[in-house]
Amino acid sequence: MNPTNPIETLGRVRVVLCNTSHPGNIGAAARAMKTMGLTRLTLVNPKQFPDPEATARASGAADVLENARVVAGLDEALEGTILAAALSARQRDLGPIPQSARQAVPELLQWAGQGEIALVFGGETSGLTNAEVERCQRLVTIPVNPEYSSLNLGAAVQVLCYELRQAAFADAPPVSSVATPFATPPASHEEVEGFYAHLERLMTATGFLNPNSPRRLMPKLRRLFGRASLEKDEINILRGIIAAAETPLPGAKGRAGEPER
């Protein structure tokens, strides 16, 4: 796995619940987290929180609720993370390639050994939007009975937290898909999003991307770079290339676009 203490590793895992409708499910998720040693809960635009029902359903995990962060959007929830994994049962045309929870967990722990990561869950009614999934570098599913695939939010959180804990404390290190140690620190969520915004500005300025007919280009590029697990130095190189492309060649008549300052 990684050389860090498993308790410290699990302490770098955030559970992010987006647009939760029922406060009882927030409490159930908090209870599921604490039983597996996870305590960092972030709520994105919950419909009703705090709420007595959430506290009642937490059943001894009220401290997780008391320390929960409440934010307005997913980008804010992911600030400071180096990897985000979306939890979804729905088939997606774009976005990361799906993995089962057990397949994904070894790599998630490898990343958590390096910095903050997030497990992102959608609301009870419709789950995560495509835009929210595109903000994540990994897509995780829970294999269930295809004839009855309904899994409530608290149960989904319990399954993922259980898999993380079992792998973190396993005697035999799990096989990781991260082949080599990080040469430089992994890029943060903010750094990756800054790169995407910079790239989109350049493509729009050059006419390669038409905002009125984007052809799902940015989601495809997000999937491509998401697989690469970009490091800080790599982000700097890519943004340097973009900045150079924004500078006119000798004899050129105009600029492709203004570099970010």
The domain locations on the chain are: 6-169, 189-246
Give 98: exposed, middle or buried? Use CB within 10 Å, 0-12, 13-18, 19+.
Answer: middle
Question: Is residue 58 scored above 70 in pLDDT?
Answer: yes
Least confident of 7-21, 106-120, 205-219: 205-219
Output the pLDDT for position 183.
66
Least confident of 42-51, 83-92, 135-144: 83-92
How far is Cα 259 from Cα 239, in angstroms, rounded to an integer? Answer: 10
Output the pLDDT for position 188.
95
Output the pLDDT for position 234.
94
Among 94, 158, 172, 102, residue whose Cα is nearest residue 129: 94
The whole-number average pLDDT for the span 157-178 is 79
Task: Give residue 249's pLDDT band: very low, low, confident or very high (50, 70, 90).
Answer: low
What would the pLDDT profile of 180-194 be if each residue is shown by its tens digit?
455 689 999 999 999
Residue 105: its H or E element: helix 101-112
**Distance between alpha carbon 160 and the CA centroid of its chain, in Å?**
14
Output the pLDDT for position 256.
46
CB atoms within 10 A of CB 242: 19
Among 231, 255, 223, residue whose Cα is nearest residue 242: 255
Is this structure's pTM higher than 0.75?
yes
How far is Cα 222 from Cα 230, in angstroms, rounded to an integer? Answer: 11
CB-based contacts of 208: which residues, under 8 Å, 6+ apart?
none
Q: Does domain 189-246 have CATH number 3.40.1010.10?
A: no
What class is the 6-169 domain?
A: alpha beta
Q: Where are the beta strands (DSSP E) in the chain?
A: 13-18, 40-44, 69-71, 83-87, 98-100, 117-121, 138-141
Query: Which has more confidence, 176 or 52?
Result: 52
CB-based contacts of 201: which residues, under 8 Å, 6+ apart?
257, 260
What would the pLDDT profile of 132-149 be if each residue is shown by its tens digit?
999 999 999 999 998 888
What would the pLDDT profile of 222-248 be if each residue is shown by its tens digit?
999 998 889 999 999 999 999 999 988
Output the pLDDT for position 116.
98
What would the pLDDT profile of 61-72 be if each residue is shown by its tens digit?
999 999 999 999
Question: Is residue 176 scored above 60 in pLDDT?
Answer: no
Output the pLDDT for position 90.
81
Backbone angles phi, psi at 148, to 5 degrees: -155, 90
Please, which residues bridge with residue 98 across strands?
139
Output the pLDDT for position 240.
95
Q: What is the mean pLDDT of the chain?
A: 89
pLDDT above 90 covers a percentage of the chain that reads: 75
Please, which residues bridge with residue 18 across strands?
44
Question: Is residue 52 scored above 70 in pLDDT?
Answer: yes
Task: Give residue 250's pLDDT band: very low, low, confident or very high (50, 70, 90).
Answer: low
Query: Is the bond leading into 50 cis (omega within 30 degrees of zero)?
Result: yes
- Radius of gyration for the chain, computed over Cα atoms and rounded to the nearest angstrom: 20
Q: Which residue type, as a one-letter code, is found at position 117?
A: I
Question: Is residue 221 scored above 50 in pLDDT?
Answer: yes
The whole-number average pLDDT for the span 51-78 is 97
